[in-house]
Amino acid sequence: MSRNAAILGLATAVPPHRLSQDDALAMARDILAPRYPGFARLESVFTNAAIDNRYAVMPIDWYRAPRGWADRSRAYLESATALFVEVARDALCRAGIAAQAVDTIVTISSTGIATPGLEARALAAMGFRADVRRVPVFGLGCAGGAGGLALAARLAQAAPGENVLLVVVETCTLAFRAQAPGKADIVASALFGDGAAACILRAGPGGNAMARVAASAEHIWPDTLDIMGWDIGEEGLGVIFAQAIPAFARAHLAEAFAGIFTCWGMRDGGFAEHVLHPGGAKVIAALEETLGLASGHLQREREILRDFGNMSAPTVLFVLERALRTGLRGPTLLAALGPGFTLNCVVLEPA
């Protein structure tokens, strides 16, 4: 019996308000263009993003009004908790496990602050046990799906037979700042959407495994705090994109991947499949180039980006869900880039 943690159920969810890219551009022209003189030069970000639709936790008119910390926090607590409950219930149902059987909950979210955490706020609605262990994690950003899966798998492996619930929730659209937008705000308004994902992991016997987590690793580059993160102002959280992420990926990712693969004993990678975080169209292309994949190879990643935009942490788990529908053909690399600047990697094996 493998001691590696198995994924027993995986689910994804999006909020109810669909936002087409045409609607997003029209809103940006209406709200941001008058406040940012160079907006016309950035309109191509919307048209070249390779995104058709995104989903938001609030109706579009909510974003037109000035919003501060209080408004954004209320919206986050309500909407993120609702997404948590929806996606956690679905994952448990697919795994055939009752909420009372969950021993540990890992919650990944960086787009709002909740104290007590989202898992505590969802406890009564979910029916978790009073002695369930809670591990809330803030700050992983777009790397949170991969990093959260690695953490949850290690916790499951440390306690064979126990059920670990991973829930990843991000409400990126609540960071939309209209009062004094910068270039990063406009880029963010063209890329980001909201979503959630959850999975159940267990090491040891029991359950129908969809895949197993065989290994994980992380690489952080020094002096890269300005590449991606939050700029905290009076309006709330605002995104930082201080450097070109695709250019950074092309310059530095190959060496990081090579070091991780060597530690795993996989000199040339040797992966049958790839499940990567689609941070943007250019990022996907940079990942293909870095990993020596044919142009257009990462089709699932492009489909998720097209249908949902960049939802930050849960996005890579949306890609994984599609990969698992047809079954993994062999060792699979799951990876995501995030603030730090960080690369998080996981090796998945077919069940």
Q: Are 66 and 177 a contacting pair, CB within 8 Å?
A: no
Longest CA–CA span in the chain (Å) reads 62
3 state DSSP class of 4: coil
**Which pairs with CB-CB distance under 8 Å and at least 24 residues apart come from 14-17?**
14/55, 14/193, 14/194, 14/195, 14/196, 14/308, 14/311, 15/55, 15/56, 15/57, 15/79, 15/82, 15/83, 15/171, 15/194, 15/195, 16/55, 17/55, 17/56, 17/57, 17/58, 17/59, 17/60
User: Minimal CA–CA distance to 339: which of 289, 282, 277?
Assistant: 277
Residue matched to tokens 């936002």: 19
Helices of type H across the chain: 21-31, 39-42, 44-47, 69-95, 118-121, 123-126, 144-158, 183-191, 245-264, 281-290, 299-308, 315-326
Q: What length is written for the chain?
A: 351
- Cα torsion angle, 206, 212, 214, 215, sign: negative
Among 142, 172, 199, 345, the one annotated catalytic: 142
Q: Which of helix, strand or coil describes residue 16? A: coil
The first and second tokens of residue 300, run together, are 């699932």
Which pLDDT score, from 0 to 100, does residue 1 have? 44
Pairing of strands 342-350, 211-220: antiparallel
Per-residue pLDDT of the chain (351 residues; tens, 9 = 90+): 468 999 999 999 999 999 999 999 999 999 888 888 889 888 999 999 999 999 999 998 898 888 888 999 999 999 999 999 999 999 999 999 999 999 999 999 999 999 999 999 999 999 999 999 999 999 999 999 999 999 999 999 999 999 999 999 999 999 987 777 788 888 899 999 999 999 999 998 877 899 999 999 999 999 899 899 998 877 778 888 766 888 898 999 999 999 999 999 887 668 999 999 999 999 999 999 999 999 999 999 999 999 999 999 999 999 999 999 999 999 999 999 999 999 999 999 998
Q: How far is CA 186 from CA 10, 62, 284, in A?
A: 33, 17, 20
142 is catalytic: yes
Using an 8 Å Cβ cutoff, are 6 and 201 in contact?
yes
Element (DSSP H or E) covering residue 236: strand 236-240
Cα-based torsion angle of the residue sequence 258, 261, 266, 270 in order, rounded to the nearest 10 degrees: -80
